[in-house]
Amino acid sequence: MVVDDSVVIRGLISRWIAAEPDMEVAASLRTGLDAVNQLERFNPDVAVLDIEMPDLDGISALPQLLAKKRDLVIIMASTLTRRNAEISLKALSLGASDYIPKPESTREPTAAETFRHDLIQKIRHLGAKARRGAGHPTASPPLAPSHERPRTPAPGVAPAPAAAAQIARRPFGLLPPKVLLIGSSTGGPQALMALVAEIGPVIDRFPVLITQHMPPTFTTILAEHLARTSKRPAHEAVDGETVKPGRIYLAPGGRHMRIVRHGIDAAIALDDGPPINFCKPAVDPMFTSAIDVWQGSVMSVILTGMGSDGMRGGKDVVAAGGSVIAQDEATSVVWGMPGAAANAGICAAVLPLNQIAPKLVRVFSGDRT
């Protein structure tokens, strides 16, 4: 279900969806009020919901839609403004599954193609999980699925992974960790908030560096939220600044964040190179670059997200003597990134989100089991 007051955007998104063999447009609607009133009639799996609309805006329609259908996947769509970034992050806390920034102009081919690629991937992966009956990890149990005709299996969507018990684990690194690196994507903001609220003892003694797949402006807002939630200093990383314990450094949207040696200190190096794993910022360069500074004393965490970003960098971390922890499938919005790491056999632990923080506190206090 596409909900946007712009007839151009509605038409564009609807054509993209209709062109996919595993998707169909259930409805194309102008306002949030139309969406709420016609939800039962169309019974969509996924709603792409604009923020700014007449009659009833997206943030107001969101809770009403979820009240009617608890397992509805809602992707918030908005232009890149500070206000909309704030609203999008608020929407995640109210039950939206994800967000996507709309390009300022769909006439610019690269921007439009990036928007199309990201939107279709989000619809496909989030919708596939909902249709498998997984629902939202933190939501109430989903309603019984509606009786619909079978659809073509989604291209690019892997079958459900092997049970966690079958995933090979490796021992934690022998060296005590000196830095915590966290990578995340879809579902990441909510997971990050939950995590940083519980790892105060780690932040106080060690630097924490985070790469979340996010555009500019959104990362500015996320850093402010991380600071409030953790009650510790958190900010977008600045090129050349020294990395210090007691602080959270967030990769700014549109720049890769690497760590380099600067004398006896570690320093931030921001990179404006091409996307890696279709992402900018990407997790892999942060993970790999940390090895040159801390060698095997690196602890990496891979949280919920689409794709496999972080897996290759995680392999490098493990090869250098460091450790990787991945979020488990049940608590991940999308088990792409953590699943890729887990199935690659590089993880020392694959844990539910609420068990990662206690484990990190123990590991950074000397536990190696």
Q: Which of 78, 88, 185, 308 is catalytic?
A: 185
pTM for the full predicted model: 0.88
- The answer to whether the CB of 23 falls within 8 A of the CB of 68 is no
**Does residue 309 have an active-site annotation?**
yes
**Does residue 185 have an active-site annotation?**
yes
| pLDDT tens by residue, 325-340 | 999 999 999 999 999 9
| pLDDT tens by residue, 165-219 | 578 899 999 999 999 999 999 999 999 999 999 999 999 999 999 999 999 999 9
How is 71-126 classified by DSSP, letter by letter?
T-EEEEEEES-HHHHHHHHHHHHTT--EEEEEPS-TTSHHHHHHHHHHHHHHHHHH
The rounded distance, in Å, linking the Cα atoms of 65 and 103 is: 25
How is 142-161 classified by DSSP, letter by letter?
PPPPP-----PPPTTPPPPP
Judged against a pLDDT cut of 50, whether residue 146 lies above it is answered with no
Instruction: Write down the pLDDT at residue 137.
Output: 42
| Main-chain dihedrals φ then ψ at residue 234, nearest 5 degrees | -145, 135
Count Cβ atoms below 10 Å from residue 94 Cβ, excluding itself: 12
| pLDDT tens by residue, 232-275 | 999 999 999 999 999 999 999 999 999 999 989 999 999 999 99
Judged against a pLDDT cut of 90, whether residue 103 lies above it is answered with no
Instruction: Write down the pLDDT at residue 369.
Output: 74
Kindly report the CATH class assigned to 2-131: alpha beta
Judged against a pLDDT cut of 80, whether residue 95 lies above it is answered with yes
The rounded distance, in Å, linking the Cα atoms of 110 and 221 is: 25
Burial class (CB in 10 A: 0-12, 13-18, 19+), 239: middle
**Does residue 239 have an active-site annotation?**
no
Name the region of 366 (left: φ>0; alpha: ψ -120 to 50; beta: rest).
Answer: left
pLDDT band with cut points at 50, 70 and 90 for residue 152:
very low
Instruction: Write down the pLDDT at residue 136.
Output: 43
Instruction: Write down the pLDDT at residue 129.
Output: 80
Q: What is the average pLDDT score of the chain?
A: 90
Q: Which of 136, 213, 225, 256 is catalytic?
A: 213
How is 282-318 classified by DSSP, letter by letter?
-HHHHHHHHHHHHTT-EEEEE-SBSS-TTHHHHHHHH
Tokens of 108: 């610019």
- The answer to whether the CB of 204 falls within 8 A of the CB of 246 is yes
- The answer to whether the CB of 260 falls within 8 A of the CB of 293 is yes
Instruction: Write down the pLDDT at residue 284.
Output: 98
Judged against a pLDDT cut of 90, whether residue 77 lies above it is answered with yes
In the chain, CATH 3.40.50.180 sits at: 170-364
* CATH architecture group of domain 170-364: 3-Layer(aba) Sandwich (3.40)
In the chain, CATH 3.40.50.2300 sits at: 2-131
Judged against a pLDDT cut of 90, whether residue 149 lies above it is answered with no
Instruction: Write down the pLDDT at residue 107.
Output: 66
Judged against a pLDDT cut of 70, whether residue 319 lies above it is answered with yes
Tokens of 47: 């709603």
